[in-house]
Chain A
Amino acid sequence: MAKVTDMVLWDKPGEKVLLLGNQAIARGALEANIAVYAAYPGTPSSELTDTMAIVAKKAGVYMEYSTNEKVAFETALAAAWSGLRAMTAMKHVGLNVAADTFLSSVGMGVEGGFVIMVADDPSMWSSQNEQDTRVYAKFANVPVLEPSSPHEAKEMTKYAFELSEKFKHFVILRTTTRTSHARGDVVLGELPEEIKAGKRKFGKFKKDPNRFVDVPANARKFHPIILEKIEKIREEFNDMPFNWIEGDESAKVGIIAPGLAYAYVKEALHWLGVEDVKVLKLGTPFPVPYGLLEKFMDSLEKVLIVEELEPVVEEQVKTWAYDRGLRIPIHGKDLVPRVYEMTTRRAVTAIAKFLGIDVPLDYGELDAKYNKALEIVPPRPPSLCPACPHRNSFYAIKKATRARGIYPSDIGCYTLGLLPPLNAVDTTVAMGGSIGIAHGLEIAQHGSLSEEQRKKEKKVIVATIGDSTFYHTGLPALANAIYNRSNVLIVVLDNLVTAMTGDQPNPSTGQTPHGMGKRIPIEDVARAMGADFVEVVDPYDIKKTYEVMKKALEVEGVSVVVSRQVCALYKIGQMRRRGEKWPIYYVDEEACTGCKVCINAYGCPAIYWDEEKRQARIEPSMCWGCGGCAQICPFGAFKPVEEGEE
């Protein structure tokens, strides 16, 4: 099969291909003749950015991995001010980071089309909270387009640029995990000549201080302008191609289904065998178009709104109905749960209740059987990879602090250090939060203690943060800790890529998708800021790492240890591609005493317990040859296999 990234660039209008929702959006942006793209990766939005990274140069699009969402937002926004079509993408919590710029600049509008793709993660498959971007959009008065399938995601992206340009207003393209990470058949459209030719497009910024400087005198003018735009867009949405009414025209009951919920509603209706309902398929959960609503609600006796998370559409519909004096039952969150993601089961159950009919499957019986089955299913949470350098860093930190520290951590693979046996993560809040929390804990815990008490307590605070996260929002927190004379150890787990979201580069990598950028070593930054102790270690040398941690803990003030070793998953991937082999380790049965240190304190997933022999074993297909086990085993039982193996 052709490579996905090739398909995104195929000049084959009409061709049907299988694309991930995020890739379909990338294709849509190209079909819309996008000029500038800037983003920070975050699941479930990352593949959109990764796809752009690969195709950008060929398509003549300027693309960058920015250091955080706010910076990305500003980069794309400025391009849109210059008349270019520009896009930024982020996950829902990323919008919190960009929120300051977002909410402050919305009144200024844009010249070229500006699309903000935000991927929500209901049920929090890979996130720290559940957050409905449509609420933000309503707050900011920015229209939201929400696709119901990968193909529609592509089409909507194109439309989003046009809409933005027409009203000179921001447009949010909102997806959820199940749109971003769904694959489906997508029909390719036309690519503009400029994209095919791969020629970079440049714009021109026309100075207009009354518009682009939000001093109070100017800003005061913005709010009414925004409200006026949103009402015009509401009108526009009455007959845009992604909103429609379908089903039995004479039906007395109706269902409103925004975005992806439409897919679940269709599925549920088919399963239930129900035909006499009208469905309002809504591609625009905000603002809800009143004209279309009027047409839909006319002659209905009751309505159900099936939407994921917050009652955004429900509240708009109810307000509208109240103002019209329309008194029919309008159901929504009373039948559809407000937390976690939509499922067919949820849609079926809600619709069955709404219509007073039977659910086609005995879920109670299914649940009972399933719960019984689950009793014998052991948990399998994700874990740090075999050979992951973070495992060694955590191991050394725990040892140096005699497991008596408090360990604030951050967002990334290393959050998995939370799990046993490492148990080396006590708090994780948000990107860059570890350093701020560490400083706060320091003040709260030690500020009132005398020097003597403090020594006796021997409690230390060790923050861990990744390289990408450090540059994302760790920098201001580090400056704050140093400036305020904090006493914490900050370990920057520098694996030279943004590993969790798929190995994207960052300033510590230096590499950009289009060649070398300028690498910024973390230790240089820490030194320049005035940290009291700065050292770089290789976590693959566990003893040395431990010694440096010990030394750092004795230093009064802010110590920064940069624990640098390339991400193992990334490294193994590269080696596999080059056809290279790596050494693997085995357990010497003579030497292994069955002490279980490797399992109970270190926890490489390639090591398992042989119940019969009561010894440790290594699963050869999972060993990535770091030699960490050999360093921590007190009896020298782990040894490299002479012959390298792939």
Chain B
Amino acid sequence: MKVREYNIVIAGVGGQGVLTAANILGWAALRAGYKVRMGEVHGMSQRFGSVVSYVRFGEEVYGSMVPEGKGDVILGFEPVEALRYINHLRQGGMVVVNTKPIVPVQVSMGKARYPEIDEIKKIVEEDFQAKWIGFNAEELAIKAGHVVTTNTVLIGALTQIPEFPLDAEHVREVIRLSVPPKAVDMNMKAFDLGIEAAKEILGL
């Protein structure tokens, strides 16, 4: 069954591999025969600042940015960053998120406070009526072989959420083709760990 439109918002910190993840999902959607539009951040904002990428696909898509209130899922590489773009989520959407924080310099300097994960979760669940699928993806990535596979773990988890329109095995195939040959095994393992983590949380 083809979807008319599916919107993914990927949020994180510059350098975390947000763009790579977006690209993988974009290619998977293109190979599934969908029209694809993606919007991304370049230039100054990439330097350890907050970054967001949009992946949209379906029978009909136009703009490259997910409109406010229209996102089906937020894929958060970092908890606070997932919350920063929460206005893009639709009612009843999903937040798949790595719960390992990256503390901004402003917080270290004592000029701002980093919230508790539970505070973030509460806002997502109560105010935005969204489902929270949070786990420490970085830990799983390290288990798979290297922290750089965090984005693969998260994509693995993403493929398990209800009504996700792309086939997990197709997404896996795109990852296999995108990463350097010597990193394939590690990424396949990371992908599986992500799938397991999501299944456990979703009770599948």
Contacts and interface: CB of A to CB of B under 8 A. Distances in A.
A372 B127 contact: yes
Contacts of A178: 39, 63-65
Given A1-B27, A267-B67, A366-B68, A500 B108 contact: no
B108 A609 contact: yes
B54 to A, nearest CB: 9
B23 to A, nearest CB: 8
Contact of B69 (A263, A361, A605): A361
Contacts of B146: 646
B104 interface: yes
B201 interface: no
A474 B84 CA distance: 39
Contacts of A599: 105, 108-109
A270 B60 CA distance: 10
B108 A345 contact: no
Nearest to B147: A621
B36 interface: yes
Nearest to B22: A183
B13 interface: yes
A126 B63 CA distance: 20
Interface stretch (B113-121, B152-160, B186-194): B113-121
B114 A378 contact: yes
B24 to A, nearest CB: 8
B44 interface: yes
The majority secondary structure among interface residues of chain A is: mixed
Contacts of A345: 67-68
Interface string B35-46: 111111111111
Interface in A314-370: 343-345, 348, 361, 363, 366-367, 369-370
Interface string B119-138: 11001000110000000000
Nearest to A44: B42
B184 to A, nearest CB: 13
B47 interface: yes
B83 interface: yes
A184 interface: yes
Contact of A184 (B36, B83, B87): B36
Contacts of A378: 80, 104, 106-107, 112-115
B164 interface: no
The majority secondary structure among interface residues of chain B is: mixed
B26 interface: yes
B111 A1 contact: no
A552 interface: no
Contact of A185 (B35, B47, B103): B35
A608 B40 CA distance: 28
Interface in B52-109: 60, 62-65, 67-70, 80-81, 83-84, 86-87, 102-109
B111 A420 contact: yes
Interface residues of A, number: 66
Contacts of B111: 420
Nearest to A261: B63
Contacts of A385: 47-48
A271 B67 CA distance: 11
Contacts of A270: 60
A487 to B, nearest CB: 32
Contacts of A46: 42-43
Contacts of A217: none
B14 interface: yes
A500 B36 CA distance: 28
A380 B115 contact: no
B65 A344 contact: yes
A500 B63 contact: no
Interface bracket on B: 35 or more
Interface string A413-437: 1011000110000000000000000
A348 B110 CA distance: 41
B49 A382 contact: yes
Nearest to B90: A361
A266 interface: yes
A343 B65 contact: yes
Most buried by A among B37, B41, B70, B81: B37
B80 A380 contact: yes
Contacts of B202: none
A377 B84 contact: yes
B168 interface: no
A373 interface: yes
A376 B64 contact: no
Contacts of A126: 42-45
A181 B39 contact: yes
A283 interface: no
B170 to A, nearest CB: 13
Interface string B14-29: 1000000011001100
A182 B35 CA distance: 13
Interface string A6-48: 0000000000111000000000000000000000000110110
A46 B41 CA distance: 13
Contact of A374 (B84, B103, B112): B84
A363 B119 CA distance: 23
User: What 4 pairs across the A-B complex have the smallest Cβ distances?
Assistant: A382-B49, A126-B43, A43-B43, A182-B64
15 contacts: A1-B23, A1-B174, A126-B43, A149-B37, A181-B40, A184-B64, A262-B62, A266-B62, A373-B83, A379-B106, A381-B106, A415-B44, A420-B105, A500-B43, A619-B102
Interface of A: 1, 16-18, 43-44, 46-47, 125-126, 149, 178, 181-185, 260, 262-264, 266-267, 270-271, 343-345, 348, 361, 363, 366-367, 369-370, 372-374, 376-385, 413, 415-416, 420-421, 500-501, 569, 599-600, 603, 605, 607-609, 619, 621, 646
